[in-house]
Amino acid sequence: MSDRNLLIVEDDPGLQSQMRWCYEDVDVAVADDAPTALGLLSERSFQVVTLDLGLPPDAGGTTVGFDLLRHIREHYPETKVIVITGRDEKQHALAAINNGAFDYYQKPIDSTTLTFATERAFFLSKIEAELQEQSKAATSNKSLLPGLIGNCPEMQTVSERVKRVAKADVTVLITGETGTGKEIIASSIHNLSDRGEHSLITINCAAIPENLLESELFGHEKGSFTGAHARKIGKLEAAAGGTLFLDEIGDMPIPLQAKILRFLQERTFERVGSSTSIQADVRVVSATHRDLQTMISEGTFREDLFYRLSEIDVTLPPLRERGADVLLIAEKILEEHGENRSLKFKADAVDAMANASWPGNVRELENRIRRAAILTDSNEISSTDLEFATDESLEDVEIEPLKVVRARSESKAIQTALAKTGHNLSESARLLEVSRPTLYSLIDKYGLESSE
């Protein structure tokens, strides 16, 4: 008897038979209505359920199907539910995803697509079960990934999670504040995977102007646009056999999001100016400091792309939540950037670092220590060397709300960039490391003149 259990919830006998014959090495059970499905779920464990939303007594609607989906997600959260919808019911599919469905496919049923979807669900179910077991077994003596320093439980969990998912050829979405080390995690996933001998290609979606990002990613043919004097191989093609790291994926323009989605679904793409499809065996890892769920609700990030990018997610804790790790990291940085001197931290520096909020996280900590190591004439680094304000200097400082400070700073930066580029919005967006639509929005928000 197989250890992979699948429940097919479908009221059409013909489709039941067709679907049952799609699987090998899978123990299949069938239910033609919600009560039967609930009974089977209470008797045994199913890793995967395929669920037709149109179930009796509401076979023409979706009420019963959605109720059953919510029940499964609440009482059997480890079970992957693949929703079946009609050809023109994509809105129901996305609603199902919002209610916790793992994936969806549309009728008429294609056996190859259905098998692929369920095999992927079984695979991820196995990986998540292993991750859960690993999490329970994690102890304080677990070693961190190369490049990571600290002993806090949160980072130990991250390290063990990365070690486990690196071998699984699935997409990974790394989230966390700016400066938390997302690049290190992406590199570790690649190096620990079976693709480690091939290339890790990185593209920063926020650092490249919108009109050039598509070419950087997919490449272009000679003459495809002004300035395209020769064929160019894109990052995706260059990463063949290896890993493509899409840093700051939240800044990718909507039109390009659609093309990345297509690649993730079909594993093919075309260079700019070409109609020839190219296959690429590439693992995609992405990262962002943005709240993609909020962006989805605002219409600035595709919901279907989010689910394709985040088969496994890794979230990095901010430095302020890592306790004594701050001082361990600080000592390591000082050792590496001590200008060949025996430097150490004074007590006031240790106290200041331990109590700082670190909005820039590890990157900010490293920058402060490197500057102090270069500029100090002493062998001891003080809180003043680290550019922390002293108690005396704080007495007469007027504190402004962060939103006021942020607005003034953003407005000034935008005006400076516009002036420097002669009000060229694409070039200004590049300098500010934001997308052009984001720059438009900020210009409107602060009532600035764009001259375009």
For the chain, count helices (H), then strands (E).
19, 16
Q: Is residue 154 part of a domain?
A: no
The single-letter code of the amino acid at 265 is: Q
Identify whether 144 is part of a domain: no
The share of the chain scoring above pLDDT 90, in percent, equals: 44
pLDDT per position as a tens digit, 402-416: 677 777 778 878 888
Q: What backbone torsions phi and psi does residue 413 show, to the nearest 5 degrees?
A: -65, -40
pLDDT tens digits for range 272-296: 999 899 999 999 999 999 999 999 9
Read off the pLDDT band of 425 (50, 70, 90): confident
The residues with which 30 forms a beta bridge, in sequence order, are: 8
- Statement: residue 392 has pLDDT above 50: no
Angle CA 129–302–239, to nearest 5 = 70
pLDDT > 70: what percent of the chain? Answer: 92
Lowest-confidence segment of 84-98, 102-116, 326-340, 383-397 by average pLDDT: 383-397
The verdict on 23 and 97 lying in the same domain is yes
Burial of 103 (0-12, 13-18, 19+ CB in 10 A): buried
Residues 387 and 413 in one domain: no
Tell whether 307 and 335 lie within a shared domain.
Answer: no
> Between these two residues, 174 and 408, which has the higher pLDDT value?
174
Mean pLDDT lowest among 17-21, 229-233, 339-343: 339-343
Q: Answer for the pair 39, 71: CB distance below 8 angstroms, yes or no.
A: no
Based on the domain organization, do 206 and 116 belong to the same domain? no
172 and 252 share a domain?
Answer: yes
Are 362 and 280 within one domain? Answer: no
Residues 299 and 331 grouped into a single domain: no
Look at residue 137 and tell me if it is in a domain.
Answer: no
Choose one of 130, 152, 178: the last residue of a domain. Answer: 130
Please state the φ and ψ torsions of residue 314, each to the nearest 5 degrees. -130, 120
106 in any annotated domain: yes
CATH number at residue 440: 1.10.10
Predicted confidence (pLDDT) at residue 202 exceeds the cutoff of 90: yes
Write down which residue in 74, 109, 130 finishes a domain.
130
Domain count, the chain: 4
Which residues constitute the domain of residue 235? Answer: 167-315
Query: Do 364 and 344 share a structural domain?
Result: yes
Other beta carbons within 10 Å of 112: 8
Shared domain for 104 and 222, answered yes or no, is no
- 232: CATH: 3.40.50.300
Last residue in a domain, options 267, 282, 315:
315
Of 92 and 208, which is predicted with more confidence? 208
193 and 276 in a single domain? The answer is yes
